[in-house]
């Protein structure tokens, strides 16, 4: 049940705000969380910056992405 995930509650209660997100693949990103979806157990975010330089990040005009909560290691609300 995704509602018991501490990252879910933090992101859901702060949709529209900027976070520092760490993912299982080693990426650390600064992103604005746009939407949190409990049905699909994922969230949509607008990428601001990332520690990983990937071609698909550079090619996109609109930098919105979807991530699963299972791939999220940590989330900190930026001040």
| Strand 42-50, strand 28-37: pairing | antiparallel
How many structural domains compose the chain?
1
| CATH number for the domain that contains residue 47 | 2.30.30.100
pLDDT at 9: 94
Please state the pTM of the whole predicted model: 0.87
Q: 50 to each of 5, 16, 19, 46, 59, how far by Cα in Å?
A: 24, 18, 12, 11, 14
27-71 residue pLDDT tens: 999 999 999 999 999 999 999 999 987 665 555 566 899 999 999
pLDDT at 3: 84
Range of the domain at 46: 2-77
CB under 8 A, 24+ apart: contacts of 57-64: 64/34
Whether the Cβ atoms of residue 75 and residue 10 lie closer than 8 Å to each other = yes
Q: Which of 49, 28, 38 is nearest to 5 (CA)?
A: 38
């Amino acid at each position: 049940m995704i509602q018991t995930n501490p990252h879910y509650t933090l992101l859901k209660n702060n949709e529209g705000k900027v976070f520092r997100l760490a993912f299982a693949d080693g990426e650390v990103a600064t992103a604005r969380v746009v939407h949190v979806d409990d049905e699909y157990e994922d969230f949509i975010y607008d990428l601001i910056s990332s520690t990983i330089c990937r071609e698909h990040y550079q090619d996109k005009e609109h930098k919105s992405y979807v991530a699963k909560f299972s791939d999220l290691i940590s989330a900190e609300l930026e001040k």
